Chains A and B, each alone.
Chain A
Amino acid sequence: MKKELDENKPIFLQIKEQIEDSIIDGSLNSGERAPSTNEFAKFYQINPATAGKGINELVSEGILIKKRGVGMFVTDEAKGIVIEKRKQTFYENYLLPMKKEAQKLEMDRQELINMLNREDEANGN
């Protein structure tokens, strides 16, 4: 969990992304309980309705499931759904900005590919 929220971004989205990140990196697995609205509100000192909005979106996307009186739990399909979703935004969030910056620097496609290959080698992949 991040220590502080980024005030430049919608807060409910950050709550949502944090839970998704935890699901992807395996710190939150299927069947485990996700932090509650209360816990988020208290930890970050944010309005509970805001935290609730992020959590509710995850419920409607099938990533969390509400068990009355107990809390929010990670569904069996959660990890697959999150990864699929993240692949879709990968293009906008990473690829487009990279291409834009490369253009600014007058780098061509081959240069980009070379760079990727170099990085692979450096990491022994």
Chain B
Amino acid sequence: MEIKVDQLSKNYGENNALDQVSLTLEGNKIYGLLGRNGAGKTTFMDILSGQILASAGSISIDGENPFDNQRLTESICLIKEANNFSPELKIKQVLKIYSYFYPNWNQEMAEELLEIFNLKQSAKIKTLSKGMESALGITAGLASRAPITVFDEPYIGMDAPSRKKFYEILLEDYQENPRTIIFSTHLIDEVSLMFEEVIILREGSVILQESAEDLRAKTIAISGPKDQVDAFLADKEIIQRNDLAGSSMAYAFGSRKEALDAGLEVEGVPVQELMIHLTEKKKGA
């Protein structure tokens, strides 16, 4: 399902949570939607999943507006970091509700996941720990098999082995049942290699949308004598730079070959480093 966003804005009073965002997501990929807290990720996902209306601009999924749209809502599953389920329900009832709501629901997978995460169907939501609640969110999100599945910080409170299990199952199921998965997180390092495409939001604007492999190919970490680095960076976009005792080290957009020809040491930029710097606020902005 193609998602098309054009000049989308959302204001809360004087605060622009989203500011004229335009982008197209072709679909059937794993997307990383990244940004610091307050960059507009959650607002974007709420609009995408039809839960709130934009202040201006448009969003369409397969040509239709998702707001209050029955056909689309059953194609989109949004799992947030908390409060996905009402506290008085039992896990069993949650699964029942999801199975009614999502036409592609896979009960077998849901039960298998509950077992893996050690969750009892008879347990009430309000008795679950934060990590258990997250695991249930992940179970519901994966088993819904919705054509568009959005995970907004879904693993708060989950321990490392459970998170690893989640990534494994996600990748396996995604390959058997390709669909659009949008992953929003500020814990980038564990998941960065799973993304096919990366979208970075900063202060309500899209500052980058790029295939993860291209991004890796286009960015370089260079080091060398300060004047040589200065000369090389003169016409480049610099991501981050450090100087120490006459030598300099920088992350920049540029070609590996050009940097080598300029006599500099060249390496790749670790993805999480890259994303951390790109999602950071610009100085003085």
Which residues of A are interface residues toward B (Cβ below 8 A)? 5, 7-12, 37-38, 41-42, 44-50, 53
Q: A42-B171, A47-B194, A49-B29 provided; 8 other pairs, C-beta below 8 A?
A: A7-B270, A7-B272, A8-B267, A11-B213, A41-B175, A42-B168, A48-B175, A49-B196
Q: Report the tally of A-B residue pairs with Cβ distances under 8 A.
A: 57
Query: Nearest Cβ in chain A — how far from B186, in angstroms?
Result: 18
Complex Cα spacing A95 to B170, Å: 43
B193: chain A residues at CB < 8 Å are 5, 7, 11, 44-47, 50
Binary flags per residue of B119-163, CB closer than 8 Å to A gives 1, else 0: 000000000000000000000000000000000000000000000
A48→B172 CA distance, assembly (Å): 9
A38 to chain B, nearest CB (A): 5
Given the complex, which residues of A lie within 8 Å of B171, measured CB to CB? 41-42, 45-48
27 A–B contact pairs at CB < 8 A?
Answer: A5-B193, A7-B192, A7-B193, A7-B270, A7-B271, A7-B272, A8-B221, A8-B267, A9-B268, A10-B213, A10-B216, A11-B213, A37-B175, A42-B168, A42-B171, A45-B167, A45-B171, A46-B171, A47-B194, A47-B212, A48-B171, A48-B174, A49-B29, A49-B196, A50-B193, A50-B212, A50-B213
A50 lies within 8 A of B175 (CB): no
Interface of B is mostly: helix
Question: Is the C-beta of B116 less than 8 angstroms from some C-beta in chain A?
Answer: no
A38 lies within 8 A of B213 (CB):
no
Residue total for B at the interface (Cβ-Cβ under 8 A): 25
| B196–A50 CB distance below 8 A | yes
B1 at the interface (CB under 8 A from A): no
B85 within 8 A of A: no
Chain B residues packing against A (C-beta within 8 Å): 29-30, 164, 167-168, 171-172, 174-175, 192-196, 212-213, 216-217, 221, 267-272
Question: With a CB–CB cut-off of 8 A, which chain A residues contact B175?
Answer: 37-38, 41, 48
Given A7-B270, A7-B271, A45 contacting B174 (CB threshold 8 A)? no
A45-B168 contact in complex given A5-B193, A8-B269, A38-B175, C-beta closer than 8 Å:
yes
Contacts of A46 in B (CB 8 A): 171, 193-194
State how many angstroms separate the Cβ of A29 from the closest Cβ of chain B. 27
CB <8 Å contact, B174 and A10: no
Taking CB atoms, residues of chain A closer than 8 Å to B213 are 10-12, 50, 53
Closest A residue, CB atoms, query B195: A47
